[in-house]
Amino acid sequence: MSARRTVAVLFGGRSGEHEVSLRSAVSVVEALLPSHDVACVLIGKDGSWRLQPGPRPAPQGGVPVFLAPGPDDGGRLRGLADAVELARPDVVFPVLHGTYGEDGTVQGLLELAGLPYVGAGVASSAASMDKELMKALFARAGLPQVEYGVLRRRDPAAEADLVARLGLPLFVKPVNLGSSVGICKVKRAEELGAALDNAFRFDRKAIVEHGVDAREVEVSVLGNDEPRASVPGEIVPDREFYDYDSKYDAASRTELRIPAPLPAALADELRRTAVAAFRAVDCAGCARVDFFLERAGGRVLLNEINTMPGFTSISMYPKLWAASGVPFPELVARLVELALERHAQRARLHTDYAG
């Protein structure tokens, strides 16, 4: 029997999704523990790294540690006070959502340190987090989307143009954030300014999208060069749209329909489009792809891709795979193997030119 691998689970982070990450980490660690050793590393809202003493993640506590940005140190986690080795992970599972975690920043550090890690690489993570870049890549791949515009500052003329071009209602979102943080639905033109001010609290760019009357459907994708898609699932929110509280509040009455009640041909189209979106951003490991299914015309419209989807007990990503025949522990173990597979592939590449 092969030795148990040590997985460093990074969680928390400097983003508005810090608390969601804590919940995801709890589920991931529980699934890993029967077959892996786990080092829990809490990244605080201040950016500090803390190696926690127990095998399960906690919302606070731990010894301050750092990771040297060079492969010669072997990916060791060292004490910040004295540089003594405290852990030597074989692979990292960055269960981080949003900025400073899902956006290529942590992925870049792990690349420099020479550590295998679960999920998308630097470029894919960055492009998928930035909705403006993501949508440009989807458009380049010919994938259908809602009409949208991007603003970098308040501009009354540009705002009026967006209302005229896109129509009402509108959805306003920070470009670089997830979990529905900072999202507002705009029903009247005079509400747009306040919605933009709210979005600019979280990011320097705001995206404004035409609001469609649609069902919300999600598909999970798993793999590296040969990704495959789960059965689709439908979200029926308990309020006007699927906001943060609808997703995570314990009192939420949002309904998850798994599998989604769809004709077989439409389900296949969603699965094909999910894989196409995964490939359009050069994703790896895992992703959840979100769709709008227009009620009137039945059009499939791609909404976004999440390169580190939620792994909480109520999250769609693991639930969709469970419904597709891959239980949570098997799913997490597979993600670790995909990380090692991708790292080995990259390690074979040349980094110099001998002529």
In a domain, 123, yes or no: no
More confident position, 16 or 247: 16
Residue 224 has pLDDT above 60, yes or no: yes
Active-site residue flag, 282: no
Does 176 qualify as catalytic in the annotation?
no
Asked whether residue 43 is assigned to any structural domain, the reply reads yes
Catalytic option among 104, 290, 315, 342? 290
Token pair for 314? 């109520």
Q: Choose, from 13, 16, 119, 310, the residue flagged as catalytic.
A: 310
Decide if 306 is catalytic: yes
Catalytic residue among 128, 288, 303, 342: 288
Q: Is 11 left (phi over 0), alpha (psi -120 to 50) or beta?
A: beta
Model pLDDT, residue 1 = 40
Residue 237 covered by a domain:
yes
Q: How far apart are CA 141 and CA 151, in angstroms?
A: 23
Same domain, 294 and 323: yes
Least confident interval from 14-23, 111-120, 336-345: 14-23
pTM confidence score = 0.92
Tell me whether residue 196 is in a domain. Answer: yes
Q: Is 234 a catalytic residue?
A: no
Residue 11 lies in a domain: yes
**Of 226, 246, 237, 174, which is closest to residue 15 (Cα–Cα)?**
174
In this prediction, what percent of the chain has a pLDDT beyond 90? 85
For residue 44, indicate whether it is catalytic. Answer: no
| Domain match, 90 and 106 both | yes
**Domains contained in the chain, number:** 3
Is 17 known to be catalytic? yes
| Residues 63 and 41 placed together within one structural domain of the fold | yes
Does 232 lie in the same domain as 317? yes
Q: Look up the domain containing 261 and give its range.
A: 128-144+213-345
Q: Within this chain, do residues 183 and 232 fall inside the same structural domain, yes or no?
A: no
Contacts of 214 (CB under 8 A, 6+ apart): 292, 293, 294, 295, 301
Structural element, H or E, at residue 304: strand 300-306
Residue 317 included in any domain: yes
Q: Are residues 135 and 274 in the same domain?
A: yes
Strand pairing partners for 170? Answer: 186, 210
CATH of the domain at 18: 3.40.50.20
| Active-site residue flag, 198 | no
